[in-house]
Structure 1
Amino acid sequence: MYIATNQETCDKIGEVLASQADKPQNIRIFIAGMGCSGPSFGLGLDNVNDEDLTEVINGVNFVLEKSVYDTVGEIKVEWVGNGYSVQPVTPAPSACGSCTSCG
C-alpha cells in the first residue's frame, strides 16, 4: 500500500490523535460516497481489521481496507488549511454523463 502525504499533514493528524487518546490511534481512509466524478473519501479513527492494509508514515498509522485499495489504488492525504483532502493519486476517469444529476 502507498499513502502520499507530507509532514504538515502528519503533524495535524498527530494533534487529533493526541486530543483523542481514549480512541483508536489509527487513521482509517474510507469511501464516504460515490458521485459522477468517482468516490469521495473520509478519514476516521478506527481499529485495524484482518482485511486491512496499513502504512506508518511519520508516526501516523494509516489504515485502508484491502478491497478499497484494490479499487482505487494509491491515496493522497493532505492538510489543506481547514481540513484534509483525500483522493486517489491517479484520479478515476469521470463518469459524468452516466447519471442525470450532471446536467
Structure 2
Amino acid sequence: MIEITDVAATELKALLEAEDKQDHALRIFVAGMGCSGIQYGMALDNEISDEDVTIESKEIKIVMGTDINEQLDKATIDYIDTDGGKGFIIDNPMAAGGCSSCGGSCH
C-alpha cells in the first residue's frame, strides 16, 4: 500500500486548506515514460469513479486507477525542499529501469 510521509501529509493538508479543497483527494496518474520508467503525476481531484482505487494514509485520501495500484504497492509520497526546488515526489522501490533502460545518456 502506498504511504505518505509525515512531512508530505503536513504539506498536503496545508495545500488542501489553502485552496479550500478539503473534500478533494490526491490523485496519482501515469504522466508518461522516461529513462527511469513510468513517470507519475499528482493532482487534487474530487471526481472519483467506481473504477478508482481509494486508500487513506495519514488522513489523506489517495485515488488512483486500478491499472497502477499494484505498481505503487510499496511506494512512498514525500515532500522535498532543496536548493533545486521543492515539491511532492513518489519514491517507488518497485520501479524497474535506470538510465540504461532507454539506451540513451542521462548524464
TM-score bracket, shorter-length normalisation: 0.7 to 0.9
Q: How many residues align?
A: 99
Q: Any conservation in 1 of the 2:36–2:101 contact (CA below 8 Å)? A: no
Report the counterpart of residue 9 of structure 2 in structure 1: 10
1:93 to 2:92 alignment: no
Paired with 1:98 and 1:12, the residues of 2 have a C-alpha distance of: 34
Contact 2:4 2:58 in 1 (8 A): no
> Residue 50 of structure 1 aligns to a residue in which SS?
coil
Measured on the aligned residues, the alpha-carbon RMSD in Å equals 2.1
Task: State the Cα distance separating 1:69 from its structure 2 match.
Answer: 1.7
Match of 1:36 in 2: 35
- Please state how far the C-alpha of 1:93 moved relative to its aligned partner: 2.8
Question: Structure 1 length normalisation: TM-score?
Answer: 0.81
**CA separation of 1:32/1:19 partners in 2, compared to 1, >3 Å: closer, same or farther?**
same
Tell me, yes or no, if the aligned pair for 1:40 and 1:87 is still in contact at 8 Å: no
The answer for unaligned runs of 5 or more in structure 2 is none
Alignment identity in percent? 22
Cα distance, 1:44–1:12 mapped onto 2, change above 3 Å:
same
Letter in 2 for 1:29: I
Q: Tell me: CA distance 1:93–1:57, structure 2 relative to 1, closer, same or farther (3 Å).
A: same
- Choose 82-91 or 25-34, whichever is displaced more: 82-91
1:63 counterpart residue number: 63
